[in-house]
Amino acid sequence: MSLLQIKQLSVGWAGQGAVLRELDLTIADGERVGLVGPNGAGKSSLFHAIAGILPPMAGTIRLLGQPVRPGAFHPDLALVFQHAEDQLFCPTLTEDVAFGARNLGLPEPEVQARVAQAIRACGLDGLEERPVHRLSGGEKRRACIAGALVMRPALMLLDEPSSALDLRSRRRLIALLSQMEQALLIASHDLEMLLELCPRVVLIDQGRICADGPAREVLGNHELMAAHGQEVPHSLTPHDWVSHDHDGAVRTAP
């Protein structure tokens, strides 16, 4: 049985036509999939539909064989929103991170242990009692990720998780996600991050899947990428070694 099975999904926001059209997507347990596409392609809309926030106009979404019911809580699924302000709402960081774990009905000591672990994993130690609106942009983003981690869901949907992160936080995020056993669907314009994390990449444009395959094949296809307003990432573009020092050694041109 597939972890996530989407068939012929069409969705639209109120007052608009369809923003996703007849979309089919299957994700296996533990699989890591990158989702790329231009602004407005429908990546976040797809995440809202999978999370049951945006009801389908047509088609089906099944998680672990069960239909995703709009508005219902799905313990096997966690969405990290593109905009942290859409996700964070509790008075303090600790309470916000704990929300998902409490919703699972876990005993309080288990909630506390998971919260402490997620806060540490996301490098938020020392900010536990900080009101969420007084966190920096990058800290808010990491708080959202901690709030999803705490649920230990079978599938995590991460919408632009590396945006607003500094280099060290981005690196920490990549290390954290690369160790996770859960399935990840990651929407991002950070194609180098997707290359590191995701063996498979799905390209969408105007609400339709344009490519679905091995990350290096999809992201490395110049014609395909250009046709959808994308650029082949630097690491897949042939370049001379002087301009890109891969091993950290200091060299001078011959």
Ligand X SMILES: Nc1ncnc2c1ncn2[C@@H]1O[C@H](COP(=O)(O)OP(=O)(O)OP(=O)(O)O)[C@@H](O)[C@H]1O
**Is 26 exposed, middle or buried (CB count within 10 Å of its CB: 0-12, 13-18, 19+)?**
middle
Smaller CB separation from Mg ion, 43 or 141 = 43
Smaller CB separation from Mg ion, 2 or 163 = 163
- Please give the residues from 77 up to 106 whose contact with ligand X meets the rule CB under 6 A: 82
- Please give the residues from 14 up to 43 whose contact with ligand X meets the rule CB under 6 A: 16, 19, 37, 39-43
Q: Which does 13 bind (CB under 5 to 8 A by kind): ligand X, Mg ion, none?
A: ligand X
> How far is Cα 133 from Cα 141, in angstroms, rounded to an integer?
12
Smaller CB separation from Mg ion, 117 or 206 = 206
Interface region with Mg ion, contact rule CB under 5 A, candidates 80-88, 124-132, 142-150, 195-203 = 80-88
Q: How far is the CB of 188 from Mg ion (least distance, A)?
A: 10
Residue matched to tokens 């049985």: 1
Applying CB under 5 A, does 44 fall inside the site for Mg ion? yes
> Residue 183: what are its φ and ψ, rounded to 5°?
-70, 140
- Of 23, 33, 51, 82, the residue at the interface with Mg ion (CB under 5 A) is 82
Cβ contact 236:195 at 8 Å: yes
- Please give the residues from 46 up to 65 whose contact with ligand X meets the rule CB under 6 A: none
- Compute the CA torsion angle 194, 195, 199, 202 (nearest 10 deg): 50
Cβ contact 80:148 at 8 Å: yes
Other beta carbons within 10 Å of 141? 27
Pairing of strands 77-80, 66-67: unpaired
Smaller CB separation from ligand X, 45 or 87 = 45
> How far is Cα 174 from Cα 235, in angstroms, rounded to an integer?
16
Smaller CB separation from ligand X, 96 or 205 = 205
Q: Which does 39 bind (CB under 5 to 8 A by kind): Mg ion, ligand X, none?
A: ligand X
Is residue 250 classed as helix, strand or coil in its secondary structure? Answer: coil
- Please give the residues from 228 up to 247 whose contact with ligand X meets the rule CB under 6 A: none
Smaller CB separation from ligand X, 14 or 249 = 14
Q: How far is the CB of 16 from ligand X (least distance, A)?
A: 6
**Angle value at C-alpha 163, between 30 and 153, nearest 5 degrees:** 25
Q: Which amino acid is at 203?
A: L
Q: Which does 200 bind (CB under 5 to 8 A by kind): ligand X, Mg ion, none?
A: none
Smaller CB separation from Mg ion, 43 or 152 = 43
Question: What's the length of the chain?
Answer: 254
Residue matched to tokens 């290359």: 195
Q: How far is the CB of 4 from ligand X (least distance, A)?
A: 18
Applying CB under 6 A, does 45 fall inside the site for ligand X? yes
Applying CB under 5 A, the residues found at the interface with Mg ion are 43-44, 82
Applying CB under 6 A, the residues found at the interface with ligand X are 13, 16, 19, 37, 39-45, 82
